[in-house]
Structure 1
């Protein structure tokens, strides 16, 4: 852990089959190597197969969503059992007690898919824009919860964004779940400033405003408001332009400790990132090195530089 960085340990809910459990309708699994081989050492899993949880076996009859006047119904394909009430009850129960920092769902599942699920009328799919029945309830109940499916996690940008958010959520949960004081929230905000700025200027300002009121407003009110603003800010996707803005901001803060040659070199590396010639990890490593050398503690300790364990190597791709 560089610079005393503390990432937090996320609790991540996950479709059981993605961890290798043989619970799919065909009796197999859909193990995700990123989840089981790379992310697993750093998170605590909360696995669930909704279909098994409502009493279905593995293997089992395939399911699909079907159109009805009352909304999509979760039906068995052959025996025509309507599993909607049981699945809706389970989803409501699990959503009410969910304390996870993120959720990874099984793609293309009529229960767990988060996008592109077909809705049938007879033998024809009338749309392919549905969410799985279970996943839809969870997402509606927790709109700021980081969610992805195993298919989308194959994209390096989505993978990095999801991972960044679950570790940030874990740090916030650990802070607010303890006996925090106003100065603790201010210190948390200070360490996350550049990370927040990379996502949302408005969110950066709003979280700062709420943290500054920690000694004035009621404790629970501040915690609820800050949590919402912090999570909402991190839900805004980062862009190359926002990263460049933050990198230049950090260079400006450490610039007085650099000679003209090193400052120009850092500016050139940032420009190379902006032109998509190098990965984000390159200017980050250089700026962090300079911040340490210049004893600029405020910059060196920003979560922006290491928002999750560096072993995950998620910023090494060129956008």
Structure 2
């Protein structure tokens, strides 16, 4: 007589209980770009879970999106604009209804690994916040380093380190909240291997 299926098998066959939970094959995590992207998604997932525990509000959704602006821009510029419009037109929509759709689309966008071009674009936008704060010579240095990254001469950590240095010297409250500059704990050093 065949054994009845276990509850675990039934749950697996019914589909994943958390469809937006990042998943990656362990062998692919040897690739530094895929590893960094996976952990970026994991930390975004965790931040979303925390927001949901606090209770989804229109303000909470808007603030969350604002913090992820440049990370989204680096991962998927088209989806960055789409999600901005989605929240910009939320009107009186119940955040409990809109939130899951927003987050599902955010996670879909973050699954796409950034390219040198999209990273350079996000870095250029961030550097714009320094235009009144640093000298012309320092601005040229920032642009030069971003260009070197875009051309594959230096790794991503080089322009990020330079921008973070300037933002420490000239703090900006909006930039300070940007996840792009630190999407996971610094001690993991995940971006050091990204060329």
Regarding TM over 0.5, the answer is yes
Structure 2 unaligned runs (5+)? none
8 A Cα contact 2:33 2:113, kept in partner:
no
| 1:202-242 superposed Cα distances (whole Å, 9 cap, x missing partner) | 21112222223445112322112211221121122211110
Give the aligned partner of residue 90 of structure 1. Answer: 8
Task: Identify which of structures 1 and 2 has the higher relative contact order when contacts are C-alpha pairs closer than 8 Å and 6+ apart.
Answer: 2
Matches within 5 A, 1:94-105: 94=12, 98-99=17-18
Structure 1 unaligned runs (5+)? 1-81, 100-141
Q: Distance in 1 between matches of 2:9 and 2:161?
A: 43
Q: Distance in 1 between matches of 2:137 and 2:28?
A: 42
8 A Cα contact 1:200 1:233, kept in partner:
yes
| 1:106-161 superposed Cα distances (whole Å, 9 cap, x missing partner) | xxxxxxxxxxxxxxxxxxxxxxxxxxxxxxxxxxxx3x442112211111111111
- 3-state DSSP of counterpart to 1:315: helix
Match of 1:258 among 129, 134, 137: 134
8 A Cα contact 1:213 1:222, kept in partner:
no
| 1:269-288 superposed Cα distances (whole Å, 9 cap, x missing partner) | 11121122222111111112
Q: Work out the number of aligned pairs and report it.
A: 193
Q: TM-score, normalised by structure 1?
A: 0.56
8 A Cα contact 1:291 1:297, kept in partner:
no
- 3-state DSSP of counterpart to 1:217: coil
Give the aligned partner of residue 168 of structure 1. Answer: 44
- 3-state DSSP of counterpart to 1:257: coil
- Determine whether 1:208 maps to 2:127: no
Q: CA RMSD in A?
A: 2.3
- Determine whether 1:236 maps to 2:112: yes
Q: TM-score, normalised by structure 2?
A: 0.88
| 1:3-37 superposed Cα distances (whole Å, 9 cap, x missing partner) | xxxxxxxxxxxxxxxxxxxxxxxxxxxxxxxxxxx
| 1:159-179 superposed Cα distances (whole Å, 9 cap, x missing partner) | 111111111111112212322
Give the aligned partner of residue 22 of structure 2. Answer: 146
8 A Cα contact 1:276 1:318, kept in partner:
no
Structure having the higher strand fraction is: 1
- Determine whether 1:275 maps to 2:151: yes
C-alpha displacement of 1:266: 0.8
- 3-state DSSP of counterpart to 1:236: coil
- 3-state DSSP of counterpart to 2:39: helix
In structure 2, do the counterparts of structure 1 residues 318 and 304 end up closer, same or farther at CA, with 3 Å as the change threshold?
closer
In structure 2, do the counterparts of structure 1 residues 91 and 255 end up closer, same or farther at CA, with 3 Å as the change threshold?
farther
